[in-house]
Amino acid sequence: MWSSLANFADGSPLNLWIQKTYWLWPVMEIIHFLGLALLFGGLLVVDLRMAGHLKGVTPASTHQLLPLVLLGFALNLITGILFFFGDPGRYSINIGFQLKMLLIGLAGLNALFYHWRVSPILVTCDERTTPPRLARCVAYVSLACWFGVLLTGRLIPYVGTG
């Protein structure tokens, strides 16, 4: 699958533009880092509260962070696609990148499960309510997945190819 995407991206106008524009890669790195800060920073508060920590924070107030989390994810999605198009040969065979994509997929499935099963349960919770076990489990899975995304993303330049 990754090799097919790499073949599609390699030599495309977007690929050539990214490779020829010397200032673009560092700008994308900065935007990716800012997106990461919004995404992980917001999710850290949301997930820690959902896991039963940060009891002084109301569950409803954590939902106000979700637009920032989504903005961070959108920034990372866009810059991540541009990174892949900029160097498809390297990313398509990199085990760190492949693991990162797997963890993002798992985090997405976990977020869907949260939306369908856990969010309706949490509507009745306030700051004194201990979240149900299912909510705590989803929160810890989210934290583990996103920490893994951070780790594997950072390792991409160093782990080599699959």
Largest CA distance in the chain: 57
| Average pLDDT of span 97-119 | 95
Is 101 in a helix, a strand, or coil? helix
Q: What was the pLDDT predicted at 162?
A: 54
Q: What is the mean pLDDT of the chain?
A: 92
Phi and psi at 51, nearest 5°, equal -80, -5
- For residue 89, what are the contacts with CB-CB under 8 A and spacing of at least 6? 6, 10
Each residue's pLDDT tens digit, 21-38: 999 999 999 999 999 999
Question: Is pLDDT of 53 > 70?
Answer: yes
Domain locations in the chain as residue ranges: 2-159
30-32-35 Cα angle (round to 5): 110
Q: Which of 15-19, 31-35, 89-93, 119-123 has the lowest mean pLDDT?
A: 119-123
| Average pLDDT of span 144-159 | 95
Each residue's pLDDT tens digit, 110-135: 999 999 988 887 777 767 778 889 99
The angle, 0 to 180 degrees and rounded to 10, between the axes of the packed helices 24-50 and 13-20 is 100
CA 69 from chain centre, in angstroms, equals 9
- Higher-confidence residue: 120 or 98? 98
Look up residue 58 and give its amino acid. T
Q: What was the pLDDT predicted at 62?
A: 85
% residues pLDDT > 70 (the chain):
98
